[in-house]
Structure 1
Amino acid sequence: MTPVELSRTVLCAVRRAVDVGALRVAVPARAVVAPPGPGGSGDYATNIALQLAKPSGRTPRYV
């Protein structure tokens, strides 16, 4: 999967969570997916959970 495909997948998951009422946030226009920084693990990373945590009133782990 490419970063663009992963970004679409992440946004789709956020939309589903909003649709079923698990999250009450505005769905962002885009989700940045990139290789993790130095010392990071995995092939790709996104900070969407951190972006949505405060507006949703939830922890990033919940998001």
Structure 2
Amino acid sequence: MRHTAASLLFSAGVDLNEIRALLRHTRLATTADVYVDILDEVRRSTARSMDGILSRLYSSSVTEK
């Protein structure tokens, strides 16, 4: 249940440090490495965010030339 709760909270955008506090871990690495499974939805969202960042950087570098 702790794994599920941590994974769902993380996928909902809850800060990893807040999840750490909720699970009462002293180390953030414990929460990140053991309890939070990165869901496919989170991976896709991260990839879309990076695509947007890189697209904006590319667009601004092309218009500056």
Structure richer in helix, relative to its length: 2
TM over 0.5: no
Name the larger-Rg structure: 2
Quick one: higher RCO (CA 8 Å, sep 6+), 1 or 2? 2
Report the TM-score when normalising by structure 2.
0.29
